[in-house]
Structures are given as structure tokens and as C-alpha cells.
């Protein structure tokens, strides 16, 4: 048995050392150390030995098992390390090659203009408020001094969801909600999407963006409105921009004005963009109508205010000299990457 165990040890160590794959190591482990392996078959014969020989051979068999097991463990580590090194060599990166830069997204031009506008009005003390895009007829029309039979409703082709629900045609509805929940002094802007049933062309879209502004306090005058809007135009278009106010009509303001700025394309000389006039209309404004204040439980004998509505899409197209408003909504990466 001593000779058999010595032969098994020598044969196993040589075979393990010569193995080149983990699968071979596993086969050798089963051959020599498995339940039916060669070392186990020797141990099964211990019962036929004398009491003096049994512990000696048993100890020797355990030593052989330990030697083979250690050799197998070392071989496994060696082969696993070799396999890892080969894998790393195959996947090695050439760090001298230039890297590929990932594309980083940017703000849509409308969002850029919106953020600039919010910064401008916040610097003048305005708060930013929001309102629902699905509005009731009351907030969108009636409270803004536009009753059901008012001809001004014909000026806006409205998307009605039911007799009383509609997609808001202006963010002025958020002004009414604010005046219903706050007491003067009020100084807010309300940016957001609005909806009108317009035909899609280079200057019109059924979905567009507005920012409405509202100031209500004691002693507010038309001069305050003109000063705020002139400051806004200079901040957006530059201090050299000229501003012109024209009389107009809106049912929720009286008196009302349209605000034009000198064309940034031609400097006021007249071109295709401004249709030869030298001016571009950017917003409408006026003093808040007393009926609107009364609808919000604000006494027009004590308080006065002004409101204005700015079209973000038109402002964006004129600021960046974009000829077609549809480009803002088509999500063409080639176009958006310019900004």
C-alpha cells in the first residue's frame, strides 16, 4: 500500500503539473480524489490491515491526498490567472487613440428665450406662476370680460372639449386664478403652452407658447407699463432697439396697445422679415379692465393694474432670425444643433 500511495502521488503531481486547461484539472481531481478515485480505493482497504499498520497507512493516505489537493489548487490558480491575462490582452485598449466624445443635449431655443425672459422679469420683481392647460370657459373667457356673445370670441378659434371645458387660448387664465387667490400687490408672469385652431404655416401653429404678465397695485399707471415693456425689449433685443406703442383693442384691457420693435434684420430700414415696415410686432398689452378686477373681487376704485401677453415663438424666431415657425416644432436635430 505504501508503494501504491507513493506511485499515486507521483503520477498525480506530474499529471497536474502538465495540465493546460481547467477541464483537465477537474478530471484529475475526480480520478485521484473523487469518491471512486484511486486514493479512496486505498482507504477502503484499511479494514484488512492489522491494528498496527492501519494508522500508519491511514496517515500516509491523508498526506498523499493533501499533497494532490494542494497541487490541484495551485494549478487552478495558475490556469485562471493565465486565462484572465489572455482575456485582458485580447481586450486591451489603445489609450493613445483619440476618444469619442459623447453628444450632450442642449436647451431648445424656445426654452432659452423663456429662461432669459423669466430672468428679466424676476429681476424686476415678478413671480412666476402656472396654470392648467385644460381650462373652463369662465377662466379663459368670462372672467376676462369676454362673455358668450362677445364678438372677440370670433378672434380666437378655440378647441372645445365640452360645453364648459376647452384648451386654453391664452395664459391670461392663470392671471385670473392668481387674482382669485391673492390680494394686491400682485406682480406675476405666467408662461406656458396655448392652443388655437390655426392653420399651420410659416407664422402660425395650433400649439404655441405665451408669457402673460400682470401687475395690480395702488397707483399703477400706463407709464409703469410702458417702462416695463421698454426695459424688457432692450434686455431681449439690445439697448439700441427702438420701441413703438400703437393703440389697439383687447376686451380685458382698456386702454390697450400693440408693441413693436425695430427690425433686428435691417435695423429699421425695411426688409422681407418686417415686410418693408422696419418694425416687428412682439406683444399686446394694456391697463387691466375694471370688469376683470371686479370679477376677481378687487376694487377698481382702489387698485389698478396692467397686463401684457408675449408670444414666445415669435420672439424666438425674430431673435434668432428663423424664417419658419414650424422649424421650432419639427425636432430636427440638424436645426436644433445650431443653438
Instruction: Supply the pLDDT for residue 310.
Output: 93
Report which of 210, 222, 220 is spatially closest to residue 175, judged by C-alpha positions: 210
Taking only the tens place, the pLDDT of each residue in 10-39 is: 888 888 888 888 888 888 878 777 777 777
- In the chain, domain spans: 2-90, 109-336
- What sign does the CA torsion over 153, 159, 165, 169 have? negative
Say how many CA atoms lie within 13 Å of 101 toward its Cβ.
3
Instruction: Supply the pLDDT for residue 152.
Output: 62
Radius of gyration of the chain (CA): 42
Strand order of the β-sheet with 304-311 is: 127-128, 186-195, 207-217, 304-311, 279-288, 253-262, 243-250
109-336: CATH topology? BirA Bifunctional Protein; domain 2 (3.30.930)
Q: The pTM is what?
A: 0.66
Q: Band the pLDDT of 165: cuts 50, 70, 90.
A: very high
Instruction: Supply the pLDDT for residue 41.
Output: 74
Instruction: Supply the pLDDT for residue 256.
Output: 95
53 or 222, greater pLDDT: 222
Q: Band the pLDDT of 156: cuts 50, 70, 90.
A: low
Measured CA to CA, the distance from residue 135 to residue 152 in angstroms comes to: 18
Quick one: what percent of the chain has pLDDT higher than 90? 42
Q: Is pLDDT above 90 for 287? A: yes
Asked if the peptide bond before residue 255 counts as cis, ω within 30 degrees of 0, the response is: yes
Q: What is the number of other CB atoms lying within 10 angstroms of the CB of residue 19? A: 19
Measured CA to CA, the distance from residue 144 to residue 178 in angstroms comes to: 13
Q: What is the rounded average pLDDT of the residues 214-232?
A: 95
Q: According to the per-residue pLDDT averaged within each range, which of 47-61, 86-100, 179-193, 308-322 is highest?
A: 179-193
Average pLDDT over the chain, rounded to whole?
86
Average the pLDDT over each of 49-63, 81-95, 129-143 and give the range with the smallest value: 49-63
Cα-based angle 268, 274, 275 (whole degrees, multiple of 5): 120
Q: Is pLDDT above 70 for 223? A: yes
| Coil/strand/helix, residue 217 | strand
Amino acid at each position: 500500500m505504501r508503494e501504491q500511495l507513493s506511485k499515486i502521488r507521483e503520477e498525480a503531481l506530474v499529471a497536474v503539473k502538465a495540465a493546460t486547461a481547467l477541464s483537465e484539472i477537474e478530471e484529475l481531481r475526480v480520478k485521484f480524489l473523487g469518491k471512486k478515485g484511486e486514493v479512496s480505493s486505498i482507504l477502503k482497504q484499511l479494514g484488512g490491515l492489522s491494528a498496527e499498520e492501519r494508522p500508519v497507512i491511514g496517515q500516509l493516505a491523508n498526506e498523499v491526498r493533501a499533497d494532490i489537493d494542494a497541487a490541484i489548487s495551485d494549478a487552478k490558480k495558475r490556469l485562471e490567472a493565465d486565462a484572465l491575462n489572455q482575456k485582458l490582452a485580447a481586450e486591451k485598449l489603445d489609450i493613445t487613440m483619440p476618444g469619442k466624445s459623447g453628444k450632450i443635449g442642449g436647451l431648445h431655443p424656445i426654452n432659452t428665450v423663456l429662461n432669459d425672459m423669466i430672468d428679466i422679469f424676476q429681476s424686476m420683481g415678478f413671480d412666476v406662476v402656472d396654470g392648467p392647460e385644460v381650462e373652463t370657459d369662465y377662466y379663459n373667457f368670462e372672467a376676462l370680460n369676454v362673455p358668450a356673445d362677445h364678438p372677440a370670441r370670433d378672434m380666437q378659434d378655440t378647441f372645445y372639449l365640452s360645453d364648459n371645458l376647452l384648451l386654453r387660448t391664452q395664459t391670461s387664465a392663470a392671471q385670473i386664478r392668481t387674482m382669485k387667490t391673492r390680494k394686491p400687490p400682485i406682480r406675476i408672469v405666467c408662461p406656458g403652452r396655448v392652443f388655437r385652431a390655426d392653420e399651420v404655416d410659416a407664422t402660425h401653429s395650433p400649439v404655441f407658447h405665451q408669457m402673460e404678465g400682470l401687475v395690480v397695485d395702488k397707483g399703477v399707471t400706463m407709464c409703469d407699463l410702458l417702462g416695463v415693456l421698454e426695459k424688457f425689449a432692450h434686455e431681449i433685443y439690445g439697448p439700441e432697439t427702438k420701441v413703438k406703442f400703437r393703440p389697439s383693442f383687447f376686451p380685458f384691457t382698456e386702454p390697450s396697445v400693440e408693441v413693436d420693435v425695430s427690425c433686428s434684420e435691417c435695423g429699421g430700414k425695411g426688409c422681407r422679415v418686417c415686410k418693408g415696415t422696419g418694425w416687428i410686432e412682439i406683444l399686446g398689452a394694456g391697463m387691466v379692465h375694471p370688469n376683470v378686477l371686479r370679477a376677481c373681487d378687487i376694487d377698481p376704485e382702489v387698485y389698478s393694474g396692467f397686463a401684457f401677453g408675449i408670444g414666445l415663438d415669435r420672439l424666438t424666431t425674430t431673435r434668432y432670425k428663423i424664417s419658419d415657425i414650424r422649424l421650432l416644432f419639427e425636432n430636427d436635430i440638424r436645426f436644433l444643433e445650431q443653438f
